[in-house]
Amino acid sequence: MKSLRIFIAILVLVMLLPAPARAQTPTPPPEVMAVLNTMNPEERVGQLFLVTFTGTDTSAESQLYELMTQYHVGGVVLLAQNDNFVQAPDTVSQAHALIKNIQQLEWDAAKDPVVNPATGQVFDSAYVPLFIGIAQEGDGYPTDQILSGLTPLPSEMAVGATWNPELARRVGETRGRELAALGFNLYLGPSLDVLEVPSPSGGDLGTRVFGGDPFWAGEMGRAYVAGLHNGSGNKLTVIAKHFPGVGGSDRLPEDEVSTVRKSLEQLKQIELAPFFAVTGNAPSPESTVDGLLVSHIRYQGFQGNIRATTRPISFDPQALNQILALPQFAAWQASGGLIVSDDLGTKAVSDFYATGGSQFSARTAARDAFLAGNDMLYLGNITSSDSPDSFTTTKRVIEFFSQKYREDPAFAQRVDSSVARILARKFAIYQSFVIPNVITPVNPLADLGSAADVVFDVARNSATLISPDKSDLASVIPLPPQSNESLVFITDASNAKQCSACPEQPLLAVDALQQTILQLYGPQSGNQTANFQLVSYSFQNLQSLLDEPEAPPFIEDDIKTADWVVISFADASQGQAGLITRFLRERPDLAREKRVILFSFGAPYYFDTTTISKFTAYFALYSKQPQFVDVAARLLFQELTPDGDSPVSISAVGYDLISVMSPDPNQVIPLTLDLEPVPAETETTSTPEPTPIPLFRIGDTIAIRTGTILDNNGHPVPDGTVVKFSMMLTGEGGGILQQVEAVTSQGVARAAFGLDKPGLLEINVVSEPAVISEVLRLDVSQSGAVAVTVVVPELTEVVEPTPVPPVVIVEDAYISNDGRLRFSAWLVSMLFIAAGTGSVYGMGIRLSNRRAATRWSAGIALGGLLAYNYIVFGFFGIGEWLIVTGLAGVITIVFVGELLGFAAGWAWSKK
């Protein structure tokens, strides 16, 4: 009995273990099964592999020919480092010819019987077009493989800094059209990684990402993917990378397997969100990727246990299965989505498998990657420890898989499942496998490289002012460089080669900005400056100035006499940011009383607060393509204003992406009824019907929605931003009747309220910290239906109080500043009383008798003295009144007292 319980427990545990990642693919379509059934094991196994080769030779003696005809590889990836391209001006024409030759070679080989070298068996070969892949990310070397002949498209971060999905779509469309014209049908990109916390010390993906917010990375990626598909006429298989996201790593994925401390729940919030946007949450087939490139990244605490670390996801079946089992990926994969391993030939993979002094076995790495759930294996320049080169290693890996296919039915079944998915994707591109459908014509090559307007639009809309604030720019740089001012340009110049035997070509020339300024503002273009006022130096010259003060002959003198020092920074990989910081720290004398301008043609977060404070202005351009240099020149001469916003946080200037993307508190949130859209007018409609005004009564439900809620940069807030709707009863006994909490989608939130209580109702909305909205007001009664009134509040502008000039108090000769009488006031009062007393006495003698005159004058004297004492003792705050009225007030009160005393004396004289 005890044994039975143990057996049942083990059985339940086994059933609960996650199965290796493998989507439940529906039965393949008939055309796929027709091709699959004609393929022998070697042909099926070969479809799993994306390989690389050296050079451009496709003859019968070439390594590529053997890989295609004997090992039936499913695709090749062209790389500049493998000399697959030639120098300009023949780069694109040769690439087109090479791809055509590869596809033609596969077609020709399929027409001839094939002899299995292992068994000697002769069989007919099935023709399947090859995937021809490339990773052309933008921004030139090292992220572009083709360096000339195509439109010089920008980095992803430059596109992200526009915050404009339409521009992302146009860039993707240009990329898709040009690559498809060359014959490429597989694109390894775009990168959908989220750079949540940039690394100022370097080591992250830099400008290879759209930004640091998962929502916007998804939005821009979705638009870019749609452009790739539309531009290529759906001839391009788009493989998004680096799944499930390496934005949180501190080193490049090709250099070392990095470990990130995040759980699956945390990944769902940040890293996986952009991949959701282009798989299960994609709104259309065009914006849906065809595959995911699985990166070699490990996660600590993936399942909540912080002490547990996964293997690299690309080799870990349990971890990869948990991710792919999420609803957004499961449905997408079941519909044919491909899972492709990242490059297995990188140093990161070989170092991981060779940990502890072990030998690197490419067969083991490839097997682990396939069993983890990858449909295709990108071998790259893979080399086993026991093989002399990559070509030999590649053949041994494929032979190992073929042998295992024949020996292991379960393995063979998994191979067939993946091959069916690969064939289905190739049928989606070509409909039928015939060479005329595969070969691309030469004619479209004439239009390559003609979309510079798209690049300029991105450059103009992405340019960002990092420091100072936009409101302060006019005060620190009131005027552009004048014709009598001299400028020194210090440029992070670099060169690259298209192939090992090709000549170097500049990526960012030493005098790139100088020549652009001369072209735009020189003697032939407005004469705002002249060549003799401009001089350019490289970072190498700057390094020499700091290390060997005697070496550079002119740079120090030129900087000393310059009015402007313009630094162009492109890359942080060789410590260039540190060189700039060192220059400003060690030679402050050279920057004193000059306008020091920094243009960053790379990522914007490599400088600290102290260094940034030494720049007069700091602009981020994000890409070093020629159009971005053009925009930099126009910014310097104030022809353009920086309209972009950084898509990543910059801690040195207090730019936090989460705060910036919260709702702008200085907005009135629009609020309207959520009505059904009015149907479009038909041609037969002569007079459009007026839109009916909706009426509401007790028992109805009122549906409402906000307008677009904006963040602090003026862009729609991310999806999922919390919005609170409130319905209140106004008047006596009023209060909040109902509250509904909703979240935004495309910047808009919706809610509905039931009208179950009569009265004057108001509905408003808040989205912290934005708390002011339009108000919907309706007076619901029992008698009939009523309409809704929209009340638009006015934002009360905070007006700074006008400074009140200080009141200068002049000392009064009779009244002190605290309202007390001075001696002079006493003297005047006594004289006034004496004069009044004497005058009345004399008048009484003449008009009546001495007795009456005495009583009248005594009354006046007594009344005046009493009034004076009333003033002295300050009854009823009389002192404040006297400060204003002065001596006149004293005389007035004394006079009133005299009148009252006279009246009393008059009454006394009658007795």
pLDDT digits (tens, 9 = 90+) for 884-910: 667 777 788 778 877 887 787 777 777
Q: Which residue has the tokens 């273990």?
A: 17
Please measure the distance between the N-terminal and C-terminal CA atoms of the chain and give it in whole angstroms: 137
Q: How far apart are CA 788 and CA 695, in angstroms?
A: 7
Q: Kindly indicate the confidence band of residue 787, based on its pLDDT and cuts at 50, 70 and 90.
A: confident
Q: What is the pLDDT of residue 819?
A: 64
Q: Kindly indicate the confidence band of residue 834, based on its pLDDT and cuts at 50, 70 and 90.
A: confident
Residue 16 has pLDDT above 80, yes or no: no
For the entire predicted model, the pTM comes to: 0.82
Residue 236 has pLDDT above 90, yes or no: yes
What percent of the chain clears pLDDT 90, i.e. is strictly above it?
A: 63
Residue 775 has pLDDT above 70, yes or no: yes
Q: Kindly indicate the confidence band of residue 6, based on its pLDDT and cuts at 50, 70 and 90.
A: very low
DSSP state of 496: E
- Residue 340 in tokens: 């492709």
Residue 676 has pLDDT above 90, yes or no: no
Q: What is the pLDDT of residue 354?
A: 84
Q: What is the pLDDT of residue 21?
A: 43
Q: What is the pLDDT of residue 877?
A: 59
User: Across 12-26, 166-180, 242-256, 718-732, which has the greatest mean pLDDT?
Assistant: 166-180
218-232, 304-318, 780-794: the lowest-pLDDT one = 780-794
Q: Quick one: average pLDDT of 474-483?
A: 94
Comparing 116 with 585, the larger pLDDT belongs to: 585
What residues form DSSP beta bridges with 752? 703
Q: What b-and-e string marks burial along 785-796, b requiring 16 or more CB atoms within 10 Å of the CB?
A: ebebeeeeeeee
DSSP state of 598: E
Q: Quick one: average pLDDT of 650-655?
A: 94
Q: What is the pLDDT of residue 874?
A: 66
Q: Kindly indicate the confidence band of residue 655, based on its pLDDT and cuts at 50, 70 and 90.
A: very high
Residue 640 has pLDDT above 80, yes or no: yes
Q: Kindly indicate the confidence band of residue 737, based on its pLDDT and cuts at 50, 70 and 90.
A: confident
Q: What is the pLDDT of residue 848?
A: 76
Residue 22 has pLDDT above 60, yes or no: no
Q: What is the pLDDT of residue 15?
A: 38
Each residue's pLDDT tens digit, 595-611: 999 999 999 999 999 99
Q: Quick one: average pLDDT of 723-733?
A: 87
Each residue's pLDDT tens digit, 330-340: 999 999 999 99
Residue 794 has pLDDT above 80, yes or no: no
Q: What b-and-e string marks burial along 394-420, b requiring 16 or more CB atoms within 10 Å of the CB?
A: bbbbbbbbbebbeeeeebbebbbebbb
Task: Kindly report the number of other CB atoms within 10 A of residue 758's CB atom.
Answer: 14
Residue 549 has pLDDT above 90, yes or no: no
Q: What is the pLDDT of residue 174?
A: 97
Q: What is the pLDDT of residue 830?
A: 84
CA 40 to chain centre: 49
Q: What is the pLDDT of residue 880?
A: 61
Q: What is the pLDDT of residue 121?
A: 62
279-288, 780-789, 801-810: the lowest-pLDDT one = 801-810
Residue 193 has pLDDT above 50, yes or no: yes
Residue 473 has pLDDT above 60, yes or no: yes
Q: What is the pLDDT of residue 117?
A: 54
Q: What is the pLDDT of residue 482?
A: 94
Q: How far apart are CA 664 and CA 667, in angstroms?
A: 6
Task: Kindly report the number of other CB atoms within 10 A of residue 158's CB atom.
Answer: 33
Q: What is the pLDDT of residue 114?
A: 59
Q: Which residue has the tokens 């170092």?
A: 351
Q: Kindly indicate the confidence band of residue 911, based on its pLDDT and cuts at 50, 70 and 90.
A: low
622, 157 contact by CB (below 8 A): yes
Q: Kindly indicate the confidence band of residue 394, based on its pLDDT and cuts at 50, 70 and 90.
A: very high
Helix (H, G, I), strand (E, B) or coil at 186: strand
Q: Quick one: average pLDDT of 691-717?
A: 87
Q: How far apart are CA 355 and CA 256, in angstroms?
A: 12
Cβ partners under 8 Å of residue 666, min gap 6: 795
Residue 804 has pLDDT above 50, yes or no: no
Residue 759 has pLDDT above 50, yes or no: yes
Q: How far apart are CA 396 and CA 411, in angstroms?
A: 18
Q: How far apart are CA 108 and CA 100, in angstroms?
A: 12
Q: Kindly indicate the confidence band of residue 11, based on its pLDDT and cuts at 50, 70 and 90.
A: very low
Cβ partners under 8 Å of residue 676, min gap 6: none
Q: Quick one: average pLDDT of 294-314?
A: 84
Q: Quick one: average pLDDT of 181-193?
A: 96
393, 387 contact by CB (below 8 A): yes
Q: What is the pLDDT of residue 300?
A: 86
CA torsion 191→192→198→200, rounded to 10°?
0
Q: What is the pLDDT of residue 457?
A: 97
User: Across 83-92, 776-785, 864-873, which has the greatest mean pLDDT?
Assistant: 83-92
CB-facing half-sphere around the CA of 98: CA atoms within 13 A: 23
Q: What is the pLDDT of residue 909?
A: 72
Mean pLDDT rounded to a whole number for the chain: 87
Q: What is the pLDDT of residue 318?
A: 93
Residue 799 has pLDDT above 50, yes or no: no
Q: What is the pLDDT of residue 680?
A: 53
Q: What is the pLDDT of residue 4?
A: 45
Residue 392 has pLDDT above 80, yes or no: yes
